[in-house]
Chains A and B, each alone.
Chain A
Amino acid sequence: MSQTQFSSMPPLSLNYSAAAGRADEVFNEDGIAKPHWQQLLKSLQTMGSGTLAERHDKASRILRDDGATYNIYGDTKNPSRTWGLDLVPAVIGSEEWGVIESGLLERAELLNAFLKDIYGPRELVRRGVIPPEAIFAHGGFLRACHGIQTGGEHELILHAVDMVRTEDGSMCVLTDRTQAPSGMGYALENRTVMSRVLPSLFRDSHAHRLAPFFQRLRTKLASLSSAHDQPRVVVLTPGAHNETYFEHAYLANYLGFQLVQSGDLVVRNGFVWMKSLDGLSRVDVILRRVDDWYCDPVELRSDSQLGVPHLLEAVRAGRVIIANPLGAGILENPVFLKFMPAIAKALLGREPRLASVATYWCGQEDDMAYVLSHLNELVIKPTLRSNGLSSVHAANLSEAKRKELIARIKAHPWQYVAQSRLVASHLPTFVGGNLQPRPSILRSFAVASDTSYAIMPGGLTRVGTDEGAFLISGQVGAQSKDTWVISSEPEVSPVDGAGADAPIVPNEAQLISLPSRVVENLFWMGRYAERAEATLRILRTAFILLNGEDPVSESSRRYLLAAVTEITGTLPGFKNCSPELLANPEAELLRLAKDPNMFGSVHYNLTAMLRSADESKELLSSDTMRVINDIRDALDNLETNLSGDDGSAPEEALDPLVTALMALAGLTHESMVRGIGWHFIEIGRRTERGVQTLKILEGLLIDVLPEHDQNTLLEALLLSVETLISYRRRYRARMSVRQVLEVSMLDATNPRSVRFQFDRLKKYINALPRVKSTNAELSTEEKSILEADTRIRLTDLSLLCERDSSDKTRPQLKTMLGQLQKSLADISTIVSDKYFDHKAGPQQLVRRNWED
């Protein structure tokens, strides 16, 4: 195609012309923009570059606030990136889509029949349609899954296809995704964001809605179980570190299913159960996002940490249904692309409508000879997809690497295919303030429905980073696009009229019980947030006092800094430290704020808090996610802000974090339903706050000091427990140990006092679900709380302030603080023993080496 100018428009700021010599989605063969593209580009031009850039920022903000991330493997410092969305949609006319859709339906049906054959009679091997090695030499063929079939119409529930439009204008399949296809959640998120940032553009386009597809997915999953009327469906994720974890949580929420990890599931008496607060609940259907090979350490990969022992046995007995079924990964073998026409002929009696990319299998002599003589024109791919191996463009290799590749192929010819390098057709993409052509790839999705499949209208489009690029993958920073299938008339929408993509109402019964892992993470989220806050406050106090205009005596300095060490749990730190360190504590204090590897630092505690939040993401509101993201950003900027380059004092640099943590606490309080999850966050928070306050009191008040020093420490104490102002209002400027103890320990109206924490703990723990005992005996945690609560209420302040005979310490205070700390530790242990799952990991009876 020659250089084409989009000519019907006056030259405004946004122009688009196709790249020389590249196929382009916008233009037809004569170089004229297709009608639906004309309309879209016109609207974009009217909007102009500035507005589009501003909408783009808004989209990025929404994506960030929704927590839409894509984790990059191997980037440990900053593992999650915000999902990239380009605002120029990929547009497909509905007539054209009809052709693609029928090809996709046929392909899903074909692969379903093929899957049934592979784990059943294997007629295609017996009849010589495919060479035995195509199945037997592939790691995705799980012999343990032989003979397991549900017997229904569909074995293959979900099917995704990556395809590109080639030079001749036809669609060409690059890969089938049948293992645990990802991307549909991102497609939905893209759509949601587009309808928010470009509402009128979207409305006028009459793009087909996505919600009906997800409705079908939900119906299909629920119908897989014949066990009861209300089957429990769960989404199984490998965990927060998986590259597409955002999507797992997002889909689970949207569909109204519980998100679980393998540790939340257990097989008992041949059934699968979810371990939850109210005991075990039966699981009937699992939508899995864990690769099949890792799902059962008894029969499949024995070194897997992501498996549920005997899961396969429960499947075999028909007691749980997994979608896609274990073993479905075999269909991703690219060797089948070569044989697809023959497979289709054998199973459907005709050639497939959708072509696949030309594929050569090194396991066959002729193909091997071709591959070796045309290496530079080909992409070499391992037949089994895994993290360690990826596609290689032989043309880009050095001579040494090339030889290495050839040797590898020759050593294991079955395990490599080669494919022609395709340059995909290009799409206009908003780059650098203008529209630039970028190569595009479309992932489409099919879900089993009735007697066939339903195809998502459109899918997930991704564009390459450079014009003419060969490789497009989320792992190398590609952008995505919403995909619009445009009808000539508005779509007839169902009567309910719910918005563009209204979420499906979740089934109440499904969401009542939470996995123990989730509540444990909420508990720790509360504790770490509070611990980080206490650390921030004491550091801030230390900076303010040490840099203040009143000089601080050496003795007060020593006590204050030692308390910092105690509170952060970073011994030896300032405890019995050298006079040099005491005189110049700044570097160590900064390290306590920003060092991510130092146990007890602000950075460390916040990272732990964020990790816990990620694990229970699906329970947090979008406002909460926004605050969490603010904390993440503030943490990323901590190093810079603390460098003092802008002349600000360190305590000021800490302020944004304190504010963000306060906002988090406020949101938890104001906008979270008082369910089990909320109670666990609060129990964590109250426990930690109690511990921290007791530690400060212990560090600063037990030893008796001269009045001036004592006053400095009292002020520090009040400052760091945020009570200085109310104290001053009540008692004016007079500092006394007795009154400080009254305010910080006994005052039931002070939300930072020790008493307040016990009051709350008592209330929250009483609200937790428990097995009702028949007698009137209190539970152990209730007893611990009652004991501590009574101890505080019976406190005699004069007694606490009494000094020992040598007039050096306050022994009664010391005993009291110790007892209260022990009560809190006991409560924490009892709660975690009772409600969290502490089963040790399994061990293999027979251990052997895994070579692959």
Chain B
Amino acid sequence: MRYRIRHTTEYKYSARVANCYNLAYMVPRSSLRQTCDKNSISISPQPAFSNRQEDYFGNISHHFEIQQPHKNLVITAESEVDVNPQHSSLNMDFGITCAEAKQILAKSKSLDVLLAREYMLDSSMVRASDELREYAAPSFTDDRPFVSAVADLTKRIFTEFTYSPEATTIATPLSEVLQTRKGVCQDFAHLQVGCLRSLGFPAKYVSGYIETLPAPGTEKLVGTDATHAWISVYSPTEGWFEFDPTNDQICGEQHIITAWGRDYFDVTPLRGVIFGGGDNPILNVSVDVARI
């Protein structure tokens, strides 16, 4: 499937911003199942300096610096991307068991496994804990096929947690999400990553877009698509698989990847510092994912 994506971020500040320094992840990267061959980013006001580059994880990052005083900041990213579904042969009932997966991860010196071990470690926003391990453990019995266990965990998060944008902010710790059983896609992705790492499996945080389809017979509205987050998990024999705990899905053509990292902090769509700006800026994000 080929998409054209338009992602607009607007900050309205209550006071003048004298200057700002930012880092944006707003352009889809390429991966095994997707190719982004056209993209551009426009920033208003005009930056004094900007630079595009590939980061540590292979994501596309934009650094920019604005030296003009402003009260509005608008960033528009436009891309075209070809997306394929994941491994067509993915069959949940076969493949290695959880116990085997653990064993290989511990012993193997293969390059893939050595590099995947980075994603078993704590990161600044996701830390392994006994609580997370206890929550996840029932899905991961030793002789269960590993991929099927991950799918089960995905389903459990989907059914046992309530999607609630009011319940959390980006600063809400994982332990609180686990306790209140409420959150948004970022929280659920962090939760699942945390569960997998607590059990000793490598997992990444993936940020991107999801195409939403209109109800049958209705016209698709502009701006209803959204930035989204899900996870990728490593099976030592079959590689990385993406799961979406917010929608209980194995990610497919409708999941378009922007960037991946250890957690949200590595791939925050827009971060940085501003001088001035007052309190409580108003943030508007709109995303359009159109098939072409």
Query: Chain B's nearest CB lies how many Å from the CB of A410?
Result: 12
Alpha-carbon distance A125/B51, docked complex (angstroms):
30
Q: Which range holds the interface residue count of chain A?
A: 35 or more
Write out, one digit per residue, whether chain A residues 107-144 have a CB within 8 A of any chain B CB (1) or not (0).
00000000000000000011010001100110000011
Q: Does B173 contact A849, Cβ atoms closer than 8 Å?
A: yes
Q: Does A298 contact B273, Cβ atoms closer than 8 Å?
A: yes
A734 interface residue per 8 A CB criterion? no
Write out, one digit per residue, whether chain B residues 206-246 have a CB within 8 A of any chain A CB (1) or not (0).
00000000000000000000000000000000000000000
Query: Which residues of chain B have C-beta atoms less than 8 A from A298's C-beta?
Result: 21-23, 63, 271-273
Q: Does A126 contact B111, Cβ atoms closer than 8 Å?
A: yes
Say whether chain B's binding surface is mostly helix, strand, loop, or mixed: mixed
Q: Does A133 contact B274, Cβ atoms closer than 8 Å?
A: no
Among B63, B65, B67, B274, the residue within 8 A (CB) of A842 is: B274
Q: Does B114 contact A146, Cβ atoms closer than 8 Å?
A: no
B282 interface residue per 8 A CB criterion? no
Say whether chain A's binding surface is mostly helix, strand, loop, or mixed: loop
Query: Which residues of chain B have C-beta atoms less than 8 A from A844's C-beta?
Result: 271-273
Query: Which residues of chain B have C-beta atoms less than 8 A from A839's C-beta?
Result: 18, 275
Q: Does A842 contact B273, Cβ atoms closer than 8 Å?
A: yes
Query: Which residues of chain A have C-beta atoms less than 8 A from B118's C-beta?
Result: 132, 136
Q: Does B171 contact A313, Cβ atoms closer than 8 Å?
A: no
Query: Which residues of chain B have C-beta atoms less than 8 A from A299's C-beta?
Result: 23
Q: Does A268 contact B48, Cβ atoms closer than 8 Å?
A: yes
Query: Chain B's nearest CB lies how many Å from the CB of A306?
Result: 13
- Minimal Cβ-Cβ distance residue in B for A135: B118
Write out, one digit per residue, whether chain A residues 290-327 have a CB within 8 A of any chain B CB (1) or not (0).
00000001110010000001100100110000000000
Q: Does B21 contact A309, Cβ atoms closer than 8 Å?
A: yes
Q: Contacts A316-B53, A848-B171 known; A414 to B271 CB distance under 8 Å?
A: no
A492 interface residue per 8 A CB criterion? no
Among B21, B115, B127, B173, the residue within 8 A (CB) of A310 is: B21
B94 interface residue per 8 A CB criterion? no
Query: Which residues of chain A have C-beta atoms less than 8 A from B114's C-beta?
Result: 125-126, 128, 132
Q: Does B273 contact A268, Cβ atoms closer than 8 Å?
A: no
Alpha-carbon distance A146/B53, docked complex (angstroms):
12
Query: Which residues of chain B have C-beta atoms less than 8 A from A670's C-beta?
Result: none
Which residues of B, 1-28, contact A by the 8 Å Cβ criterion? 11, 18, 20-23
Among A309, A412, A840, the residue within 8 A (CB) of B276 is: A840
Query: Which residues of chain B have C-beta atoms less than 8 A from A852's C-beta?
Result: 124
Query: Chain A's nearest CB lies how many Å from the CB of B274?
Result: 6
Which residues of A, 794-852, contact B by the 8 Å Cβ criterion? 839-852
Q: Does A268 contact B67, Cβ atoms closer than 8 Å?
A: yes
Among B115, B127, B272, the residue within 8 A (CB) of A309 is: B272
Alpha-carbon distance A844/B272, docked complex (angstroms):
6
B43 interface residue per 8 A CB criterion? no
Write out, one digit per residue, whether chain B residues 118-155 have a CB within 8 A of any chain A CB (1) or not (0).
10011011010000000000000000000000000000
Query: Chain A's nearest CB lies how many Å from the CB of B123?
Result: 10
A270 interface residue per 8 A CB criterion? yes
Query: Which residues of chain B have C-beta atoms less than 8 A from A849's C-beta?
Result: 171, 173
Query: Which residues of chain A have C-beta atoms less than 8 A from B55's C-beta?
Result: 143-144, 146
Alpha-carbon distance A849/B67, docked complex (angstroms):
28
Among A269, A297, A412, A851, the residue within 8 A (CB) of B65 is: A269
A355 interface residue per 8 A CB criterion? no
Q: Which range holds the interface residue count of chain B?
A: 35 or more
Query: Chain B's nearest CB lies how many Å from the CB of A332?
Result: 19
Alpha-carbon distance A302/B271, docked complex (angstroms):
10
B270 interface residue per 8 A CB criterion? yes
B170 interface residue per 8 A CB criterion? yes
Q: Does A845 contact B274, Cβ atoms closer than 8 Å?
A: yes
Q: Does B51 contact A267, Cβ atoms closer than 8 Å?
A: no
Query: Which residues of chain B have C-beta atoms less than 8 A from A412's C-beta?
Result: 122
Q: Does B48 contact A846, Cβ atoms closer than 8 Å?
A: no
- Minimal Cβ-Cβ distance residue in A for B117: A132
Q: Does A133 contact B275, Cβ atoms closer than 8 Å?
A: no
Q: Does B170 contact A846, Cβ atoms closer than 8 Å?
A: yes
Indicate the member of B23, B49, B173, B270 with the most A CB atoms within 10 Å.
B49
Q: Does A845 contact B273, Cβ atoms closer than 8 Å?
A: yes
Query: Which residues of chain A have C-beta atoms less than 8 A from B170's C-beta?
Result: 846-848
- Minimal Cβ-Cβ distance residue in A for B19: A268
Q: Does A843 contact B274, Cβ atoms closer than 8 Å?
A: yes
Alpha-carbon distance A136/B122, docked complex (angstroms):
10
- Minimal Cβ-Cβ distance residue in B for A847: B171
Q: Does B21 contact A267, Cβ atoms closer than 8 Å?
A: yes
Alpha-carbon distance A842/B122, docked complex (angstroms):
28
Q: Does A128 contact B109, Cβ atoms closer than 8 Å?
A: yes
Q: Contacts A267-B21, A298-B23, A851-B127 known; A845 to B115 CB distance under 8 Å?
A: no
Q: Does B173 contact A313, Cβ atoms closer than 8 Å?
A: no
Alpha-carbon distance A405/B182, docked complex (angstroms):
35
B183 interface residue per 8 A CB criterion? no
Query: Which residues of chain B have C-beta atoms less than 8 A from A133's C-beta?
Result: 117, 121
Query: Chain B's nearest CB lies how many Å from the CB of A632?
Result: 36
Write out, one digit per residue, whether chain B residues 66-81 have a CB within 8 A of any chain A CB (1) or not (0).
0100000000000000
Alpha-carbon distance A769/B47, docked complex (angstroms):
31
Query: Chain B's nearest CB lies how many Å from the CB of A846?
Result: 5
Q: Contacts A126-B111, A133-B121, A297-B273 known; A270 to B65 CB distance under 8 Å?
A: yes
Query: Which residues of chain A have C-beta atoms less than 8 A from B286's C-beta?
Result: none
Query: Which residues of chain A have C-beta atoms less than 8 A from B276's C-beta?
Result: 840
Q: Does A310 contact B65, Cβ atoms closer than 8 Å?
A: yes
Q: Does A269 contact B49, Cβ atoms closer than 8 Å?
A: yes
B194 interface residue per 8 A CB criterion? no
Query: Chain B's nearest CB lies how many Å from the CB of A269?
Result: 5
B247 interface residue per 8 A CB criterion? no
Q: Does A313 contact B273, Cβ atoms closer than 8 Å?
A: no
B268 interface residue per 8 A CB criterion? yes
Q: Does B63 contact A843, Cβ atoms closer than 8 Å?
A: no
Alpha-carbon distance A309/B275, docked complex (angstroms):
10
Query: Chain B's nearest CB lies how many Å from the CB of A18?
Result: 48
Alpha-carbon distance A849/B265, docked complex (angstroms):
11
Query: Which residues of chain B have C-beta atoms less than 8 A from A132's C-beta?
Result: 114-115, 117-118
Write out, one digit per residue, whether chain B residues 168-180 have a CB within 8 A of any chain A CB (1) or not (0).
0011010000000
Query: Chain A's nearest CB lies how many Å from the CB of B64?
Result: 9
Query: Which residues of chain A have C-beta atoms less than 8 A from B275's C-beta?
Result: 839-843
Query: Chain A's nearest CB lies how many Å from the CB of B10?
Result: 13
Q: Does A268 contact B65, Cβ atoms closer than 8 Å?
A: yes
14 contacts between A and B (CB under 8 A): A125-B115, A126-B115, A132-B115, A132-B117, A144-B55, A267-B21, A268-B48, A269-B67, A313-B21, A313-B63, A841-B275, A844-B271, A846-B170, A848-B171
Known contacts A143-B56, A845-B270; 10 further A-B pairs (Cβ under 8 A): A132-B114, A269-B67, A270-B49, A270-B51, A298-B23, A842-B275, A843-B273, A843-B275, A848-B170, A851-B127
Smallest CB-CB A-B distances: 10 pairs: A842-B273, A270-B49, A309-B21, A143-B56, A146-B56, A136-B118, A310-B21, A132-B117, A846-B271, A849-B171
